[in-house]
Amino acid sequence: MKLIATVHSHFGAMHIKKILSKYNINSQMAPVPRFLSSSCGTCVIFDYEKVFPTENIPDDIEKIVKILDNNKYEILYLAEN
């Protein structure tokens, strides 16, 4: 499944990409898609086939969503603040 992590800053995206590469998960940084947010920041797009863990999420991350069809998405994780 294709997941997108939106982050607080470009630096945060770089950090997440680094963590994912440690686990051999391919990822790419890109502008946040419009349907996901009105922010024009950076997100990290990656493929992940297992059940997504919702613990120990780095605090750079705002939210993680699973991309569905027709610009729809399912929120897997949403930071408290």
Partner 1 sequence: MNTKNEKLSIIIAGLIIGLVAPILVFKGNPVNMGFCIACFIRDTAGGLGLHRAGAVQYIRPEIIGIVLGSLIMALCRKEFNANGGSSPLTRFILGAFVAIGALMFLGCPFRMILRLAGGDLNAVFGLIGFIIGILCGVFFLKKGYSLGKTAKLKLLEGLNFSILQIFVLILLILAPGFIFFSEAGAGPGALHAPIILSLVIGIIVGGIAQRNRVCMVGGIRNVVLYNDWNLLIGFIAIFASALILNNIFQFTVAETLNKSFFKLGFEGQAIAHTDGLWNALGMVLVGFASVLLGGCPLRQLVLAGEGNTDSAITVLGIFAGAAFAHNFALASSGNGPTENGKIAVIAGIIICVIIAIFNTFYKKEK
Question: Would you tell me which residues interact with partner 1 (CB under 8 A)?
Answer: 8-12, 14, 29-31, 33-35, 38, 40-42, 59, 67, 70-71, 81
CB closer to partner 1 out of 24 and 81: 81
Task: Indicate the pairing of strand 2-7 with strand 27-31.
Answer: unpaired
Min dist CB 22 to partner 1, Å, is 17
Measured CA distances, 52 to 5, 7, 10, 69 (Å): 12, 17, 23, 19
Count other C-beta atoms under 10 Å from residue 79's C-beta. Answer: 15
Min dist CB 57 to partner 1, Å, is 14
